[in-house]
Structure 1
């Protein structure tokens, strides 16, 4: 009994470390429209229906973050002040490749790309940059403890 309980705990800890964001299956056109409303623009479409989208600018609702492991993910403001009173600006650069199945439905396995989140902290004349990267099905953490993922 103790061995099986210990194995279950180890398995759960392993799964917690392998967090993957699963989005529901949706038509490729619906997903592209949703992302365009969030500021992405379509760069190209291939003959097999794959769409390439790009975003560069201040962070939008395309990304959601949380401050602690048990906290809820939510959109973050593009600018504001941190706990130390320093001003912060958050920017996002993203490139997505969305490949639908033969039926025109986009599944999680058809999502690829990279999100790069950069936080510029300014204290008077001194500026500091920190950042993280993650894929459309993953998440990334900043040294401050902020963890972000694609929305």
Structure 2
């Protein structure tokens, strides 16, 4: 049995929903701040649930939302305690999760989004792993910084 953690990321908050691979009933739901304290709170809950249920794997998924999902994703991917529990942190394409949610739900809210991200992980159709992006991260940051400098220079002229 797997633990599936869906996180809807915004600039200030992380809306979290946790499911098992066996059921769509939510084990846990919360709203935490998008910082180290919030990520640590999610980690504590994952460790607590793993003691109770002994999951074979934990998948933490969040939509790729620019710089807002970068730090939580790397926190979960590189944490030593979570790595020991076979935790996989993935960044999902927001378009794919939106299409999945639209099949079932018409309303829009972060609570619903977090649940459907976890449910999307339950069906196992995700492919984008955070590991593939690590090697290109420095190049991405440099390219974006250069673009901003060029845009600023053009505006100045």
Q: TM-score, normalised by structure 1?
A: 0.24
**Which structure's residues are more often strand, by fraction?**
1
Q: TM-score, normalised by structure 2?
A: 0.24
Q: Which has the larger radius of gyration?
A: 1
